[in-house]
Amino acid sequence: MRAVCDDSSACVAYSCGVTFIAVAIPVSRTDAVSRALESAQIAKSQGADLVEWRVDTLAEDPSGSATLIRLVQESPLPCIVTLRTESEGGAFSGSDDERIEMWRAACAAVPPPAYIDIELATYHRRVPMGDSARDIARFSSGSKLDAPRIILSFHDFHGRPAGLSSRVAEMWSDPGSAIAKVVWMARTPRDNIEAFELLASRAKPTIALCMGEHGLMSRILAPKFGGFLTYARMDDHGTAPGQPTTEELLRDWGFRSINRSTKVYGILAYPASHSRSPEIHNRWFLAANVNARLFAISVAPLWESFKATMLELFGHEPLDFCGAAVSMPHKENALRFVEESGGVIDQSTQRIGAANTIGRAADGRLFARNTDVDGVVEVLSSAMRSSGGDGDLRGKRVAILGAGGAARAAAFGVANRGASVVIANRTASKATQIAEEFAVACGDAPALDVTAKAMSALAKERFDVIVNCTSVGMEGGSAEGQNPLPEGVVLDERSVVMDAVYAPAQTALLRHASQRGAKCVGGWEMLIAQAAHQFEAWTGSRPPTDAAPAR
Ligand code: NAP
């Protein structure tokens, strides 16, 4: 693959649909060159195609020009030379003449750099920076064919820039530049869609990327929309927020196999960045050869925000958005959205009143499902079997702690299998409400055996199964390290105790229960089990569960 692009005919690889991976490596001083070259060698061995030498402050070093020549000449990958100005997020604060001098040095290297990046704002300065850059490139050390091309760029680290499309149109219409590049800080998932729209209507090779947590989709899906390149970081920080590493791009995201047909899924939550769902589903998609990727999408905890995001994602046809996993606090919104769109909701999900999965049925209508129910029941049955029972929940006494979304799903799931359920919650009225709802028949679905009790009333009782569906014990939560089970609840080797909390793996509740001989099962097993049902709802087949990530 040749990682350069002639502005008249576009390079072979690019025209074949390859989106390059460029690793940005800052080099601030002469004594950092050897390390930087080693990093570029590592980037190459990891699969990067280009290196961007970010030499913003190198001009301040007395041997800056000579150092830049060495960097370019010894670069193990075709390179981009960039001296990013402070006004666009870089550290270059010198004069135009100093910058021109550095470009001249870079272009004296044999071979010269593949690209010089220059900001649109600088290009149009009174000193004809654009002309200088083009002249230097033209009279570089290389043959005409190898002369550096100009990347005309624009960056906004604060948000979507005003006049975005007119700036990009200006870059496209400039005959002196080969590639247009626009990068801005995403505020919502909508920004990615705008980047994809720019790529789809490009008049020349274009880089359109969004920064920050919300912008990851634009970086990963650049090949789907024909982006010229995506950036990867070498260290913890990278040169812009949100850059993945080359290894993450290639191993975790299967970047090389993303193409126009790649389908897109999301995990919608608030916040979503901590979710393990992208890791789980993307591993399964790759292992099962399903051309799809799932992204974490943080959506503010309001119905209006959820609805607007869903409409944007499902509404932008070229994105091929096919479904969503939904977590706190949007599970009720998920049900409402599918209901309002005239979609299909199965009876259990309707009765639980919350959905964690949205997908598209064969007839094009959306469907909503609650796979937490399947997850809880499956994991409990298997724990009961492995402790010598038959795994049948019928007639078992089950205590559910909590009265949020997970508790609703668990209470419904086990009661629907014939268990007798006691539900207890810090806010007792919420437990009572669930018990009252489930205790009446609903259509042809029978009344369920669910009663509410005060937490303290559980003391001295014995249950076959106890399920914690509160967030007590959760890492980083307000009750981290605490045990939600009231003192005195009887536990022995016939008890099964499950904690929906999956981080940490060993919660205070599970420690307490295992010390008393109970069979313990953690939230990770439930997470994998419910995710497997999501995968099946979307793709029609079970996932290769042995490809699931380690806890
Ligand atoms: P939710 O709807 O927000 O409900 C939270 C529940 O926790 C409520 O019952 C709340 O009681 C209770 N709670 C919170 N802080 C408490 C405290 N300090 N003391 C006592 N009770 C407290 O959340 P959810 O969706 O049901 O999720 C609950 C937990 O299950 C979370 O840790 C979540 O990560 C986990 N979960 C795991 C899976 C999985 O697959 N493993 C799936 C879903 C959920 P009040 O009503 O009194 O506020």
Query: What CATH number has the domain spanning 12-256?
Result: 3.20.20.70
Mind listing the pLDDT tens digit of every residue in the chain (551 residues)? 445 444 333 344 455 569 999 999 999 999 999 999 999 999 999 999 999 999 999 999 999 999 999 999 999 999 999 999 999 999 999 998 899 999 999 998 999 999 999 999 888 776 677 778 777 777 666 666 678 999 999 999 999 999 999 999 999 999 889 999 999 999 999 999 999 999 999 999 999 999 999 999 999 999 999 999 999 998 777 778 889 999 999 999 999 999 999 999 999 999 999 899 999 999 999 999 999 999 999 999 999 999 999 999 999 999 999 999 999 899 999 999 999 999 999 999 999 999 999 999 999 999 999 999 999 999 999 999 998 889 999 999 999 999 999 999 999 999 999 999 999 999 999 999 999 999 998 888 899 999 999 999 999 899 999 999 999 999 988 999 999 999 999 999 999 999 999 999 999 999 999 999 999 999 999 999 999 999 999 999 999 988 888 88
CA distances from 18 to 2, 194, 268, 355 (A): 10, 21, 30, 38
Phi/psi for 182 (5° steps) reads -135, 130
Please give the Cα distance from 523 to 500 (Å, whole number): 4
The residue nearest atom 46 of ligand 1, judged by CA position, is 427
97 among known catalytic residues: no
CATH topology of domain 373-523: Rossmann fold (3.40.50)
Annotated active-site residue in 330, 331, 396, 533: 331
The residue nearest atom 20 of ligand 1, judged by CA position, is 426
User: Quick one: which of 413, 415, 421, 419 has its CA closest to 452?
Assistant: 421
What's the whole-model pTM score? 0.92
CA of 458 to the centre of ligand 1 (A): 18
Do β-strands 149-156 and 115-119 pair in parallel, antiparallel, or remain unpaired?
Answer: parallel
Please give the Cα distance from 50 to 509 (Å, whole number): 51
- pLDDT value at position 142? 61
Phi/psi for 283 (5° steps) reads -60, -45
- pLDDT value at position 131? 79
Position 167: which residue type? R
Fold identical between 12-256 and 263-371+530-539?
no
**Which residue is listed with tokens 């209006």?**
304
The residue nearest atom 27 of ligand 1, judged by CA position, is 406
Instruction: Return the structure tokens found at 279.
Output: 């890791």
Ligand 1 site-directed mutation target among 335, 429, 469, most atoms within 8 Å of CB: 469
* Binding-site residues, ligand 1, Cβ < 6 A: 328, 372, 375, 402-407, 425-427, 430, 469-472, 474, 478-479, 500-502, 523, 526-527, 530
Residues 6 or more apart in contact with residue 131 via CB below 8 angstroms: none
Phi/psi for 90 (5° steps) reads -100, -160
Annotated active-site residue in 6, 155, 281, 519: 155
Contact yes or no for 106/81 (Cβ under 8 A) = yes
Using a 10 angstrom Cβ sphere, with 0-12 exposed, 13-18 middle and 19 or more buried, the burial of residue 485 is buried
**Which residue is listed with tokens 């060495």?**
70
Contact yes or no for 13/3 (Cβ under 8 A) = yes
User: Positive or negative CA dihedral for 34, 40, 44, 46?
Assistant: positive
User: Positive or negative CA dihedral for 316, 279, 259, 15?
Assistant: positive
CA of 404 to the centre of ligand 1 (A): 6
User: Quick one: which of 382, 340, 337 has its CA closest to 356?
Assistant: 337
Please give the Cα distance from 296 to 320 (Å, whole number): 16
Rg, C-alpha atoms of the chain: 28
Instruction: Return the structure tokens found at 219.
Output: 């970086």
331 among known catalytic residues: yes
Position 466: which residue type? I
Domain residue spans in the chain?
12-256, 263-371+530-539, 373-523
CA distances from 282 to 193, 403, 543 (A): 21, 31, 11
List, in sequence order, every beta strand (DSSP E) within 227-369: 229-232, 263-269, 292-298, 321-326, 344-345, 357-360, 366-369
Crossing angle of helices 523-539/277-287, nearest 10°? Answer: 50
Please give the Cα distance from 170 to 152 (Å, whole number): 10
Contact yes or no for 232/246 (Cβ under 8 A) = yes
CA of 260 to the centre of ligand 1 (A): 39
The residue nearest atom 11 of ligand 1, judged by CA position, is 426
Position 491: which residue type? L
Instruction: Return the structure tokens found at 308.
Output: 């607007």
State the DSSP string of 82-119. Answer: E--BGGGTS-B-S-HHHHHHHHHHHHHSSSPPSEEEEE
- pLDDT value at position 227? 98
- pLDDT value at position 444? 82
State the first-to-last Cα distance of the chain, in angstroms, to the nearest integer: 38
Instruction: Return the structure tokens found at 328.
Output: 């706190």
- pLDDT value at position 141? 67
Query: What CATH number has the domain spanning 263-371+530-539?
Result: 3.40.50.10860
Using a 10 angstrom Cβ sphere, with 0-12 exposed, 13-18 middle and 19 or more buried, the burial of residue 315 is exposed
Q: Which residues pair with 92 in a beta bridge?
A: 85
252 among known catalytic residues: no
CA of 434 to the centre of ligand 1 (A): 15
Q: In this structure, which long-range contacts are made by residues 505-514, counting pairs with CB atoms below 8 Å and at least 24 apart in sequence?
A: 505/551, 507/468, 507/473, 507/483, 508/473, 508/481, 508/482, 508/483, 509/468, 509/472, 509/473, 509/483, 509/484, 509/485, 512/483, 512/485, 513/466, 513/485
User: Positive or negative CA dihedral for 157, 163, 167, 168?
Assistant: positive
